[in-house]
Homo-oligomer: A and B are copies of this chain.
Amino acid sequence: MTTGPRQRTRQQHDEIARYLRTAIREGSFQPGDELPSEAELTRKFSSSRGPVRQAMSALRGEGLISSGRGRRTVVLDNVLTQSFDDVISFSQWCHASDIVPGQITQRVAREPAEKSLAASLRISDGDPIVSVFRLRLMDDVPAMVERLNYPLEFGRHVLAFDTDSGSIYQELIEQGVDINRASRTIDAVGANDDDARLLEVPVGTPLLRVRRRAFTTTGDVIESSDDRYLPWKASFTMNSTRGNPSSMSLISGT
């Protein structure tokens, strides 16, 4: 007996949450609108209040809705958000959000590293790297451009992989690369010529840039990447509590 099919019947609360997320995303419930009451959802899904409240709680945690004693639950002004702790893979995030991820590879190359990239990957200037340049889609609509750079040691797995077929992250995991830690820096940039063409927006359109470096347990750099999101397709949220500091920090530029 192996792992068996990951078939797993979907839980009720999960199903309710997905229904609401989808309805909100597709505009069936606009920002400011009231969601159906818990009682209505209970009837609609032939469930009980528990699962309904679990779903609501999930959505509240994602910042999608706001609720309170006596008040109807309302939809907040929102775009999809990645929860900071589990942003690892674009594909994975899409699946969690019930979106179909897509990718159109623009370029895959094995080439010598230029100076700044070499420094970022902690290799020598001119050492070979594997670089990938892809347009990423959400439900077949352009959403992000992705520039990935790997030292050859890890990049060789990428060269042997069809980059149009899915998640590189998952492929690396399956190849036994132990991705242990990642560091992300978020800022804003204007779309350059390539970005603008692929994302179908004017040059200079504000994009949300996420630069990521991933490490093994031993501290070797696996990846140095630059993702640029259309800000109306994705944003980042994080929660912090007094006394329980968040892992995010604001860094001063030059």
Interface string of A236-252 (1 = CB under 8 A from B): 11111111111111111
* A104 in contact (CB, < 8 A): no
B186 near A236 with CB under 8 A, answer yes
* Segment at the B interface, from A72-80, A105-113, A145-153, A157-165: A72-80
For the complex, count residues of A whose C-beta is within 8 A of B: 86
Q: Mark A40-72, 1 if CB is under 8 A from B, else 0.
A: 000000000011011001101111101010010
The SS class assigned to the A binding surface is mixed
A76-91 with Cβ < 8 A to chain B: 76-88
State whether the Cβ of A5 lies closer than 8 Å to any Cβ in chain B.
no
Inside 8 A of A138's CB, which chain B residues have their CB?
252
Bound-state Cα–Cα, A249 to B234, Å:
10
> Hey, which chain B residues are within 8 Å of A253, CB to CB?
13, 50-51, 53-54, 230-235
A175: CB under 8 A from chain B? no
Assess whether A244 is in contact with B85, with CB atoms less than 8 Å apart: yes
**Contact in complex: B235, A187 (CB < 8 Å):** yes
Which chain A residues have a beta carbon within 8 Å of chain B's beta carbons?
13, 21, 25, 31-32, 50-51, 53-54, 57-58, 60-64, 66, 68, 71, 74, 76-88, 93, 97, 99, 115-116, 119-120, 122, 138, 179-190, 204-209, 219, 230-254
Q: Given known contacts A53-B251, A78-B244, A138-B252, what 19 new A-B pairs fall within 8 Å (CB)? A: A58-B250, A61-B248, A61-B250, A62-B239, A63-B185, A77-B116, A78-B185, A79-B187, A81-B247, A84-B243, A84-B244, A85-B244, A86-B249, A88-B242, A205-B206, A206-B207, A233-B252, A236-B249, A236-B250
